[in-house]
């Protein structure tokens, strides 16, 4: 079993991470091979004077303590979003939320009816007038059990979670669209 990797804190890695560069991109900037950048980053090779000078042009723009942007700062850096794109997503969310509401209503009706059968079957089964009726009631009891089992419950809760997520996204999109200039 191998040992876990220790994240590199070399200047090469810090610069590469800060600017979101791939090994290939930094290698192209430094005009060296990808393998050399990998060795420099891992500390297996030392930076030569000319490489250090080229890297220092980028390194001087790396803050000593990287600061995470607040949500407001992140939003302030963005250009205003495209209203048609947001409106299309809002339409999608509203359409699918409506479909899920209908599906959940049908599911709730099915559960309500299964509850009725669950209450009635204990008295109906022993009083079945013949074998055909008893077989029909047995099938109804199996269907009722399937309608009320753990898989059905999970399916209901997953549908409900999807609906809640779409409703939350719908509200967020409406608020965002309200903030856009007309």
Q: What is the pLDDT of residues 17-51, one digit of tens each?
A: 889 999 999 999 999 999 999 999 988 999 899 99
Rg (CA), the chain: 31
CA distance between the termini of the chain: 61
pTM reported for the whole predicted model: 0.58
104 contact partners, CB below 8 Å, separation of at least 6 = 156, 159, 160, 163
What CA–CA distance (Å, rounded) separates 146 from 140? 10
User: For the chain, what percentages of helix, strand and coil (3-state, to nearest 5) are there?
Assistant: 75, 0, 25
Instruction: Render pLDDT for 52-103 as a digit per residue (tens, 0 to 9).
Output: 999 999 999 988 765 677 888 888 788 888 899 999 999 999 999 999 999 9
CB 80 within 8 A of CB 40: no
CA of 4: how far to CAs of 7, 10, 12, 43, in Å?
A: 9, 18, 21, 16
């Amino acid at each position: 079993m191998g040992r876990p990797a220790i994240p590199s804190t070399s200047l090469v890695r810090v610069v590469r991470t800060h600017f979101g560069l791939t090994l290939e991109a930094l290698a192209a900037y430094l005009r060296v091979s990808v393998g050399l950048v990998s060795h420099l980053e891992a500390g297996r090779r030392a930076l030569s004077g000319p490489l250090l000078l080229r890297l220092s042009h980028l390194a001087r723009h790396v803050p000593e303590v990287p600061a995470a942007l607040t949500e407001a700062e992140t939003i302030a850096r963005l250009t205003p979003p495209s209203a048609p794109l947001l409106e299309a997503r809002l339409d999608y969310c509203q359409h699918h939320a409506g479909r899920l509401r209908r599906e959940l209503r049908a599911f709730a009706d099915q559960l309500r009816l299964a509850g009725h059968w669950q209450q009635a079957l204990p008295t109906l089964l022993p009083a079945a007038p013949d074998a055909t009726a008893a077989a029909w009631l047995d099938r109804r009891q199996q269907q009722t059990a399937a309608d009320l089992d753990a898989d059905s419950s999970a399916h209901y809760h997953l549908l409900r979670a999807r609906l809640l997520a779409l409703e939350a996204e719908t509200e967020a999109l409406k608020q965002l669209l309200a903030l856009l200039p007309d």
